[in-house]
Structures are given as C-alpha cells and as structure tokens.
Amino acid sequence: MAALDRPAVKARPVYLNLFAIRQPLPAIVSILHRISGALLFLIGIPLLLWVVQRSLGSPDAWAQMRATLAAPLAKLVLIVLAWAYFHHFIAGIRHLMMDLHWGMDLKSARQSSAVTIVLAVLLTLGVAVKLW
C-alpha cells in the first residue's frame, strides 16, 4: 500500500499562484485564446480597417500602405497578429466541435489542444517566411 507510506500532511499551496501551478494543455490553449482575442481587438480591428481603407484609396495610397507594412516592426506586428488570428480561429473551431460534443474526453481534449497550438505556430511560421 504505497499510499500509506506518504506523510499524512503534505505541503500544499495555500493560495492559487498561477505561475506555480503546472497548467494542462487545454488551459494553455484557453488562456492563449483569450490573449489572442484581446490582441485582435486592441490592434487587429483598427489595423484591418486602416489597411483596407488605404488599400482602396488610390494606387499611390496602396503602394504607400505596402511600404509602411514592409518595415521590420510592422512585419513583426503582422506576424504576431497572424498568430493571434490562427490560434483564435483554430481554438474557436475546437470550441465549436466541443459544443457538438466531439472530442470531449480527456485524451481527445489534450490531443486537440496540442494540434491547436502546433498548427497555429506552423501557419504563423508560413506567414513569417512569406513576409521576410
């Protein structure tokens, strides 16, 4: 009986320190879903509107907008936002699948979490390669 060998009182955390708890993969996907959503709201929406507005202005405005977005810092922002879009998109599809009770058991939930993280990163790398 291995359980009896353990001390009766173990050192347990007395408060929830998020950085001391090892988060399971679905929890990481969940917080990244939130962070990516916040990024898309704060930067994504105004940038999208600005880009489309400039792009439809005139050939000059189009060229100017493309030159602005070609700056290294702008490319970095675009890559971060691309990741945010991919992650939010895939995690959202995962959410919808779970609403339909697909992949609800622990094993599938962990697998789909891993797929979400990896796929979003791979797609972002693809965008990054294309941008640079």
Partner 1 sequence: MPKRVVVGAHYGWRDWLVQRVSAVVMALYTLLVLFLLLRSGGLDYDAWKATFGSELFRLASFVFMLSLLWHAWVGVRNIAMDYLKPVSLRLTFEVVVIVLLIGYIGWTIQVLWGGVAP
User: At closest approach, how far in Å is the CB of 44 from partner 1?
Assistant: 9
103 binds partner 1 (CB under 8 A): no
Nearer to partner 1, 94 or 113 (CB): 94
Give the closest residue to 36 by CA, choosing from 72, 82, 71, 68. Answer: 82
Pair of tokens at residue 46: 């105004």
Nearer to partner 1, 106 or 132 (CB): 132
CA distances from 44 to 14, 58, 82, 116 (A): 39, 23, 9, 20
Nearer to partner 1, 99 or 105 (CB): 99
Q: Say if residues 111 and 70 touch (Cβ distance below 8 Å).
A: no
Q: Which residues bind partner 1 (CB under 8 A)?
A: 34, 37-38, 40-41, 45-46, 49, 52-53, 55-57, 59, 62, 89, 92-93, 95-96, 99
